[in-house]
Structure formats: structure tokens, C-alpha cells
């Protein structure tokens, strides 16, 4: 199937997606389904093959593709909004520093402590793993460029020193803080949910979830 639902409106696409899954399970027929729609891939696939310019980046279950991306491309491709990235370094004193970080973070306090010193890499974190903070407790600070109130959740687009990132919070948190465009806001990481990627090759150096025997990746 080559993007069979691409010309349908949102409601019909959702209904037809469910019908295809039910029919496929009923017939027990192996099906190759080509799509650019992440929701279709995540909800319909038993295993997903992520391609970039014709090259296989990763083959895995939908949950592993999201939680254990093989490289920078997969991490930035899967997720809506996608994963955020900051350019950082681990200095010779084992502290994490970067242009957008408000203060250096001791690498020993992070799950990425096995990464060696003097190594430039990309720090990755999902929008849902950012939380509002005070100036004293924040890891990053940015200018609010857009606030999207989606009912069940709020997406905040932030401009940092060297990057644009997105945070996803609950609707109640959005109402509590009432961000406006142009506001300066402070945010903290969930230090247990940080990813690290080699800046040159893009290969994942660390992800916060344990490996499982079901994982199959190709680089």
C-alpha cells in the first residue's frame, strides 16, 4: 500500500486506518505500508522501517523507534513535535556546557556519564520532558515565539541562544503560566530522559531506555 489515505480528510483517514488494521489482522496477511504520516506508521505498524534518501536508518517496533532512535535523523523525524537538540560539550572537568545552557551540569549527575570528556555532541530531549522552572532551577531560558493551546495540551515554541525548541505541557500548566509571545521563560530538563548523539555521524551515544532483545537496527 503506497500512501492509500493521503487524499482523505482527517476523520475519514482515522476511520479508514482502523478498518485497514482490522482487515489486516482478520486476513493475517503481511502488508508493506508506505507512508509519510507518523500517526499511521505508529498505530498501524508492527515493525517500522525508517528510510532517509533510500537508506535504511532503523528497523524496529513503533515504541522502540520513538524511545530508542538509532541516530539523530530518526530522533528528529519521529515525534510531533519532534525531539529538540542542543549543541553541547563535555569539558575536561566532566561538566556539560553549551551556548544555550544557563549553567554547566555535572556529567556525573546524568545518565550520559559514560560519555568521555572533551567530546562535542548533540543533546536531545523530547518536548514532553521539559518543565517550567524558576530562574534559579532552570537549565535553559528562551523567548516565547509561539503558544499553541490545543485543548488537552499546550505547545510552546522557544527561541534560545543557538536553537529553537518546543515544550509540551498539560493544558492546566499552560493556563497557570499564561505565556505570551515575547515573554522570557525558564525551563528545566528531566535529567533522566536525556539523549546524546554524535554530532558528525549522528549515531546515538546514549538513550534513557534499556535495550531489549527485540531491537534491530541498521546504521
Count the helices and strands in the chain (H runs, E runs).
5, 13
Same domain, 58 and 156: no
37 φ/ψ angles, rounded to the nearest 5 degrees: -90, 115
Residue 211 lies in a domain: no
Which CATH number belongs to the domain containing residue 120 in this structure? 2.40.50.140
**Closest by CA position to 75, among listed 209, 214, 213:** 209
Report the C-alpha gap between 12 and 23 in whole angstroms.
Answer: 16
pTM, full prediction:
0.86
Report the C-alpha gap between 217 and 195 in whole angstroms.
Answer: 17
* Sequence-separated (6 or more) residues with CB below 8 Å from residue 109: 191
Report the C-alpha gap between 116 and 94 in whole angstroms.
Answer: 8
Domain-terminating residue out of 77, 92, 126: 77
* Residue-range definition of the domain harbouring residue 147: 84-206
Looking at the structure of the chain, the number of domains it has is 2
Same domain, 58 and 90: no
Say which range, 83-97, 152-166, 171-185, has the weakest mean pLDDT: 83-97
Same domain, 117 and 61: no
Same domain, 89 and 189: yes
Strand (E) positions, 29-183? 48-52, 55-60, 84-90, 95-97, 105-106, 119-125, 130-132, 140-149, 153-159, 164-170
Residue 111 confidence (pLDDT) above 50: yes
Tens of pLDDT, residue by residue over 7-35, are: 999 899 999 999 999 999 899 989 999 99
Domain-terminating residue out of 51, 77, 103: 77
Q: How confident is the model at residue 112 (pLDDT cuts 50, 70, 90)?
A: low
Residue 216 lies in a domain: no
Same domain, 100 and 151: yes
Same domain, 152 and 193: yes
Residue 213 lies in a domain: no
Q: How confident is the model at residue 125 (pLDDT cuts 50, 70, 90)?
A: very high
Amino acid at each position: 500500500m503506497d500512501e492509500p489515505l493521503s487524499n482523505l480528510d482527517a476523520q475519514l483517514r482515522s476511520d479508514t486506518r482502523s478498518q485497514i488494521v482490522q482487515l489486516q489482522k482478520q486476513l493475517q496477511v503481511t502488508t508493506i505500508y508506505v507512508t509519510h504520516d507518523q500517526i499511521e506508521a505508529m498505530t498501524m505498524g508492527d515493525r517500522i522501517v525508517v528510510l532517509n534518501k533510500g537508506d535504511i536508518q532503523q528497523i524496529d517496533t513503533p515504541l522502540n523507534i520513538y524511545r530508542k532512535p538509532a541516530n539523530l535523523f530518526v530522533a528528529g523525524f519521529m515525534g510531533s513535535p519532534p525531539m529538540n537538540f542542543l549543541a553541547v560539550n563535555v569539558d575536561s572537568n566532566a561538566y556539560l556546557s553549551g551556548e544555550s545552557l544557563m549553567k554547566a551540569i555535572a556529567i556525573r549527575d546524568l545518565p550520559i556519564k559514560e560519555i568521555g570528556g572533551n567530546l562535542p555532541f548533540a543533546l536531545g530531549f523530547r518536548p514532553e520532558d521539559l518543565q517550567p522552572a524558576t530562574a534559579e532551577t532552570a537549565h535553559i531560558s528562551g523567548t516565547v515565539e509561539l503558544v499553541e493551546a490545543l485543548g488537552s495540551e499546550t505547545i510552546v515554541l522557544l527561541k534560545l541562544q543557538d536553537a529553537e525548541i518546543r515544550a509540551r505541557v498539560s493544558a492546566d500548566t499552560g493556563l497557570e503560566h499564561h505565556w505570551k509571545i515575547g515573554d522570557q521563560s525558564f525551563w528545566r530538563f528531566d535529567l533522566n530522559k536525556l539523549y546524546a548523539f554524535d554530532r558528525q555521524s549522528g549515531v546515538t551515544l546514549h538513550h534513557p531506555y534499556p535495550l531489549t532483545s527485540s531491537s534491530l537496527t541498521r546504521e
